[in-house]
Structure formats: C-alpha cells, structure tokens
Amino acid sequence: MSDLDALTSSAYSQALEVIASVEPRVAEATRQELADQRGSLKLIASENYASPAVLLTMGTWFSDKYAEGTVGHRFYAGCQNVDTVESLAAEHARELFGAEYAYAQPHSGIDANLVAFWSILAHRIEGPWLEKAGRKNVNELTEEDWEALRKELGNQRLLGMSLDAGGHLTHGFRPNISGKMFHQQQYGTDPETGLLDYDLLAAKAREFKPLILVAGYSAYPRRVNFATMREIADEVGATLMVDMAHFAGLVAGKVFTGDEDPVPHAHVVTTTTHKSLRGPRGGMVLATEEYAPSVDRGCPMVLGGPLSHVMAAKAVALAEARQPGFRTYAQQVADNAKSLAEGFLTRGADLVTGGTDNHLVLLDVSSYGLTGRQAETALLDAGIVTNRNSVPADPNGAWYTSGIRLGTPALTTRGFGHDEFDRVAELIVHVLQNAQPGTTKAGGPSKASYVLGDGVAAKVKDASAEMLERHPLYPGLDLA
C-alpha cells in the first residue's frame, strides 16, 4: 500500500467512526454502499466513480457557509474562501472546454438547465422589453409593466428532442417544468434508422420558429453535428442551447472535436459534473460573453445558496480532467462502448440505431418478450446495474419502457477493456434469454414481474466477480 493509499484509508475509516458515533446506521449503510458498488457491474450511463480526492473535498466545512451572489459580490460576509474555490472551478472549466464564461453554482443538471432557460429569456426578452418600455432596470417596473412582461416571458417557444428519441425530461417534456413554462414542440429521429434527420429538424424549426433550440441527449447513442444545429438556430433566430450532461467527459477528453464539440457553436451549454466527467454530483453552465451577465444572475434568479463544498469538489474534478490521462480515459470510454455494442450485435441483440459512437448503448429488449422494467430488475438480481429507458415510439411508455440504457464510463474507470465488455454483453444476453414475464394476480401477463431461470443469477454473479476482482474499485481503500 502506498503512502497515499494509507492516508486515504485512514481518512475514510476515521470519518466512518465519527459518523457511527452519532448514527451508526448511516455509517453501516455507507460501508454497504461501497461493498455493493464493488461487487456489481455498474452500467448506468449517468453514473461513475469520483476520485477519493473529489469525495473528500465534499466533506468539509465549506458545507457550513452561505454564499448567495457571485464572486466578489455576495449577500453574506466572510465568503473570501468560497470566492477562491468558485473562481478555481470556473477557471478550470473555461480552460478545459475553451469556453468564454463558466458558472459553477448549479446544484444539478436540471438546475443548470433552469438557469440557462431563464438566462436566455432575460437576455432575449427581458432586456429588450425594458429598453422598449423605457425602464432602466426591473426595479422601475410598475405592476402593469410586470403583468405585461410576465405574459411576454411565459409565451416563448422551445424546440427540444423528444423523450423517446433520446432527449431529456428538461427538454420540453410536459410533466417537467420546461414543458409548462414554454410553448413547446419536440423533434424526433428517423423512424427507420433512429438517427437525427437534420433536414426534417430544420423544416420543423422553420415552421415553429422557437426562441430556444435545445440540442443534446440522455439516451441517443450517436454523435450530434452542432455546427449544423447552430446553422438551423441562426436561420430561425433561435438561441442554441446544448445540454451536454451525458457526454461532457467526451468533450473534455477531446473525443468530440470540431463540429461535434458543442462549446464553439452553442450560445449556452449546460452540463452535470458527474457522469462521464467523473466529478461530484452537480451542474454547470458555459456561455458566450453575450449571455454571461444573465447567467451570472442564476442565484437568486432560480438557485438558492450555492453548495460551496460541492463547488470546491468541482474545482478538484475539473483539475483532474485537465490532466493528460483524462483524454486516454475518455477515448477508452468511447472504445468500450463500441466493444459493448459489437458484443450485443454478434449475439443477435437489437440496438437502437444499430450501434453507438459515444458512451452509451440503447438495447431494445422487446425481442426477448420483456419490458424494460422486467429486464432492469432481472439484471439487477444477477448483479448487473442498468436502467430501463424508452426507445423511439415505445409501445410501453416511459414507465415500463421497451429498452435498457447501458453506459461505459463507470466500468472504464475500473479498468475494463474490450474483452471485459464483450463478456458483459454475453452475460446480459444470457440473463435476458433466460427471463420471461410473470403474471398478474388476475392471471394475465405482467409488465413488471418476471421469472428468471434457476441458477442464472448465481452463475452470472460468479462470472462477474472474476472480472471485478481483476479491476477492484478504489483498490487502495481498505476499511477493515
């Protein structure tokens, strides 16, 4: 064990002892979570493993500090150290992504998208409206002014990718706030190929004329041409907003460059800092200088007090992502996704779009006679952690679904390569081939319950354990 490993083990062991002195059940659940993650194949595309340095950064007294406002302009005294870590997070983000401006305060990806939406509205609608009304700022507005402005802000159009095509809830899905605050329409993919059709998207944009065109995805297994998306946005006078939460690590690691890098083409880019970026759970907004003043009002516009301890962890994670090794990691994430896809295809599985060229694979489980929910739970019983996901024109809807989404960032962090991901595909297919739908209490077919063949779960767990032992999680961390 290296000196650093020894320090890390000591830090976590002592931290758990302190926690156990107050609430031992929390300490035990924490220990068990590490054991569960060490002993399972984590294939959830939106999850990863943050470094011990990132994790330890979140457990500090920065958690105790309120810091509403912006760097150098806080509503609370004594924020000089928060200013330091927030400035570092923004500096690393700008350098890593080549962005003109970075905002590290959002608590999550959804918060980042809310900041982006309202920043665009403020820049495109509120500012010009104030000028037209002859007001210097919002403090001069009368109640009649506010009523008129509210109607203007609440009647704007947003065009985003549909949920079943691979978009996210926050891209205009009706149950989400984005689907309620905008007059929204959605674009999908080609029904035959599952791929984006930019000509059809452009035609829809010309007809609908959105104020905001949202690009990005959470379950689309292909790359996007953001130069083309910007051309479409410019033609109809829209602001191009890109949600790169899922693939930010591939952008940071220079797997996506040129037209596939959203930062040079979008007005505003949002992201999470976990997922493929491998940092703490949180959000971030990148923008051009034009939109920076509006984004900088994220708190108190839609955010509460920033989580200073998480911003500090973002700074550490972004510093890690600027190291040369992160580019190697990001390329391996993409290579491993191809290996996983090839492993499925050679075994006759049905993949949406027929493969992948990013970090995720979307597997249609209909051919096995299962819903996504049944497949997800059967795989979990066998020690394989995935999540069910809609496929285009999904007959089972967004709850039961017909697909499962699988991502490679987490197991790539553990050191898995081509051979292991081919084996993972083999194990998943084995589980699905040996699962069948259960029955409801009334005796009919169930969309939720399932029956898994005898011994299948144990066999798959044993096979997984061999790979997991070769690639241990946090290998230097000993909590014994």
The residues annotated with a catalytic role in the active site are 66, 68, 243, 272, 275, 281
Report d(CA 405, CA 364) in Å as an integer.
9
Q: Which 3 state secondary structure label does DSSP give 19?
A: helix
Give the burial string for 370-395 (b: 16+ CB within 10 Å, else e): bbbbbbbbbbebbbbbbbbbbbbebe
Q: CA 427 to CA 99: how far, in whole Å?
A: 42
The distance between the two most distant Cα atoms of the chain, rounded to a whole number of Å, is 75
181 CB burial (10 A radius; 0-12, 13-18, 19+): middle
Instruction: Yes or no: say if 435 and 450 are a contact pair by the CB < 8 Å rule.
Output: yes
Q: Which among 255, 312, 247, 291 has a CA at the least distance from the CA of 117?
A: 291
Tokens of 189: 């993919």
- Answer yes or no: are the C-beta atoms of 365 and 379 closer than 8 Å: no
**How far is Cα 115 from Cα 302, in angstroms, rounded to an integer?**
6
Question: Which residue in 445, 462, 272 sits closest to 371, CA to CA?
Answer: 445
Residue with tokens 């999550």: 108
Residues 160, 184 contacting (CB under 8 angstroms): yes
Sequence-distant (6+) residues with CB within 8 A of 78 are 65
d(CA 291, CA 232): 19
Query: Which DSSP letter does residue 77 get?
Result: S
What is residue 6's three-state secondary structure?
Answer: helix
Structure tokens at 78: 């004594």
Residues 479 and 11: their CA atoms lie apart, in Å, by 10
Cis peptide before 300 (omega within 30 of 0): yes
Structural tokens at position 463: 């096979």
Q: Report residue 84 as tokens.
A: 């330091």
* Among candidate residues 388, 363, 392, the one with its CA nearest the CA of residue 448: 388
Single-letter amino acid code for the residue at 152: E
